[in-house]
């Protein structure tokens, strides 16, 4: 199936470029507006809002963790018709020979990438967290509750790729909304202050944020 790019934003890290792309299976005219950190894309069938930020680094100041670079994207999609349109989101390290390893945690899907000098993490909410949000109808339609989390197969709308993630937006009904986010953090290689024999995993902690915490920290009350 051929897809058409609606949005692309690249983040340069010390291990290479992390790309956030949104694609549609329908080629059509769309309007794009940008105000400060918010980009809004109007297609025939969806309103797609992307909020960009780089504040994760500052959030760790009061912890034992520290990172050098960070970036985040919050994406809210609203269906505005009853027509079919397939939307997908990719967040990946591109044009790189480096190997990525899955490094998930409780309510977190993440990948870990490293080279001789730096560590890099890319993270997003896992299927169990998406299910919890569906239970609350929290920018995740309640009807998806039974499709998400263990033991559903697949248990999430997001799956691992070779160096990141691919999210397939499920079929939405008119006026339904859905939300996903993707976080990136990199840091120079170092040993853990608490466990000197082990590598520091500050980048992993930096991408482990839920929607609720992100919305509060970014003061996006209209996204609750």
Give the residue-averaged pLDDT of 174-199.
93
Tokens 């400060």 -> residue: 36
Average pLDDT, the chain: 94
In degrees and rounded to multiples of 5, residue 2 shows phi and psi of -80, 135
Write down the pLDDT at residue 18: 98
pLDDT tens figures, 126-175? 999 999 999 999 999 999 999 998 777 789 999 999 999 999 999 999 99
- 13-22, 43-52, 102-111, 186-195: the lowest-pLDDT one: 186-195
Give residue 151's pLDDT: 76
Domain ranges of the chain: 4-223
Nearest-angstrom CA–CA distance, 23 and 174: 20
User: In sequence order, what are the beta bridge partners of 76?
Assistant: 49, 179
Q: Which pLDDT value is given to residue 1?
A: 65
Classify residue 59 as exposed, middle or buried by CB count within 10 Å of its CB (0-12, 13-18, 19+).
middle
Q: What is the pTM of this model?
A: 0.95
Q: In the structure, what pLDDT confidence band is assigned to residue 29 with cuts at 50, 70 and 90?
A: confident
pLDDT tens-digit readout, 161-178: 999 999 999 999 999 999
Tokens read off for 39 = 């980009």
pLDDT at 92 over 80: yes
Output DSSP code: residue 84: -
């Amino acid at each position: 199936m051929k897809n058409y790019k609606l949005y692309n934003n690249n983040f340069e890290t010390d291990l290479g470029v992390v790309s956030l792309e949104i694609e549609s299976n329908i080629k059509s005219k769309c309007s794009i507006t940008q105000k400060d950190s918010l980009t809004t894309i109007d297609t025939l069938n969806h309103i797609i809002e992307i909020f960009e930020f780089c504040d994760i680094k500052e959030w760790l100041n009061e912890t034992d963790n520290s990172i050098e670079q960070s970036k985040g994207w919050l994406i809210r999609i609203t269906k505005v018709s009853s027509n079919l349109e397939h939307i997908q989101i990719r967040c990946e390290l591109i044009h790189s020979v480096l190997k990525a390893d899955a490094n998930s945690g409780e309510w977190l899907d993440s990948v870990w990438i490293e080279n001789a000098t730096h560590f890099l993490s890319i993270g997003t909410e896992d299927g169990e967290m998406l299910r919890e949000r569906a239970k609350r109808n929290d920018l995740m339609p309640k009807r998806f509750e039974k499709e998400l989390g263990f033991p559903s197969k697949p248990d999430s709308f997001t799956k691992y790729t070779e160096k990141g993630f691919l999210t397939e937006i499920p079929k939405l009904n008119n006026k339904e909304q859905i939300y996903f986010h993707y976080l990136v953090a990199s840091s120079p290689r170092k040993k853990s202050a608490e466990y000197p024999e082990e590598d520091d995993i500050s980048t992993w902690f930096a991408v482990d944020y839920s929607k609720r915490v992100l919305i509060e920290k970014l003061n996006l009350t209209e996204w609750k």
